[in-house]
Structure 1
Amino acid sequence: MEERLIELETKISYQDHLINELNDVVVRQQQQIDQLEKQMVRFGDHLKQASGSGLARPDEEVPPPHY
C-alpha cells in the first residue's frame, strides 16, 4: 500500500511540474499574440497613411504600354 502511495505522489508531482511548464508556454504564447496584434494595428495604420500618399491603388493603375 505504501509503495502505491509513493507512486501516486510521484505521478502527481510530475504532473504538477508539467502543468507549470505548460502554463509558462501558454503565457509566452499569449504575450507573442498580444505583440503581434499590436504590430498588425501599427501596420494597418501605416497602410492607411500610405494610401493617402498619392500612389494609385493597383486597380486604378494604367496598364503598361506593352499590353
Structure 2
Amino acid sequence: MRDELLALQTQLSYQEDTIAQLNEVVTRQQRDIERLTEALAQLKKQFDEMPSEQLDAQEELPPPHY
C-alpha cells in the first residue's frame, strides 16, 4: 500500500510539472499571437493609407523575369 501511495505521489508530481511547462508554453504563444495580431493591424493600416496611385504604379511593373 505504501509503495502504491509513493508511486501515485511521484506520478502526480510529474503531472504537475508537465502542466506548469504546458502553461508556460501556452502563455508564451498567447503573447506571440497578440504581438502578431498588433503587427498585422499596423501593416493593414499602412496599406490602407497608401495612395491609390502608388498601388497602381506597382501593379503596372513587368515581372522580374522579363
Question: 1:43 — aligned with what?
Answer: 43
Give the number of the structure whose residues are more often helix, by fraction: 2
CA distance in 2, matches of 1:43, 1:53: 16
Matches within 5 A, 1:29-40: 29-40=29-40
Give the Cα–Cα distance (whole angstroms) in 2 for the partners of residues 32 and 62 of structure 1: 36
Instruction: Tell me if 1:54 matches 2:53.
Output: yes
Distance 1:22 1:62, change over 3 A: closer
User: Structure 1 residue 49: deviation in Å?
Assistant: 1.2
* Structure 1 gaps, min length 5: none
Distance 1:16 1:62 in 2: 59
| Identity among equivalent pairs (%) | 33
TM-score in terms of structure 2 length: 0.81
Runs of 4+ in structure 1 displaced over 3 angstroms?
Answer: none
Counting matched residue pairs gives 60
Structure 2 segments unaligned to the other structure (5+ residues)? none
Of the two structures, which has the highest relative contact order with CA contacts closer than 8 Å and spacing of 6 or more?
1
